[in-house]
Amino acid sequence: MKSTVARRYAKALIELGREDGLYEQYGKELRTVIPVFKGSPELTRTLLNPMYRLEERLGLMNSVSEGMKLSMVVARFLAILVETRKINLLDDIGEAYSRLEDDLAGRIRATVEAAVDPKEDTVANIKDRLKAITGKEVILAFRKDPSLIGGLVLKIGNTVLDGSVRTQLELMKEKILEGAV
């Protein structure tokens, strides 16, 4: 449910951004403000605390928005999150917004896990193949995971393509055990 609510808020903000052609700017502002809240959990607790009057909490949020020089739209959006006591969903809203923003811009994000750092030509090859398959710009992130032994694990959204040696060995082990039983 939390992700559904976060997606609704993200969708509302991105629709405003589409209307005025500033959805990328709003995304940058969201990505700038999220670390402030992550770095200061007491700020979030204060903005959610009903012991403080709504006017005080909104004043604090406005001070943060002004200090960060946020646009009026993003500042008002954050104020609405304070009013509705949803400011604790800001990180989830930011993730949902980024996905929506990528869809609008014709991008996909993929993560490649490998036992060793991949070579540049391997990276280019993966990007080219994904672009050919999806027809979208590809943004790749890499994670080194020595436990894979070899091969790659590719993650795009909810899809996982596992070509790691570790997984192949596990599958062989299962087949051997099935035959032995």
pLDDT tens, position by position, 144-168: 999 888 888 999 988 898 988 889 8
Sign of the torsion angle spanned by Cα atoms 168, 138, 116, 119: positive
What local confidence, expressed as pLDDT, does residue 181 receive? 54
Using alpha carbons, select from 108, 116, 97 the residue that is nearest to residue 158. 108
Using alpha carbons, select from 167, 158, 72 the residue that is nearest to residue 108. 158
Q: Is 107 helix (H, G, I), strand (E, B) or coil?
A: strand
* Sequence letter at residue 22: L
The CA-atom distances, in angstroms, between 24 and each of 4, 21, 85, 136, 173 are 22, 8, 25, 17, 48
* Sequence letter at residue 51: M
Q: Which domains does the chain have, with CATH numbers?
A: 2-102 (1.10.520.20), 106-180 (3.40.30)
Percentage of the chain with pLDDT > 70? 98
User: What confidence tens digit (pLDDT) does each residue in 100-122 have?
Assistant: 999 999 999 999 999 898 888 98
pTM of the model: 0.76
What local confidence, expressed as pLDDT, does residue 104 receive? 92
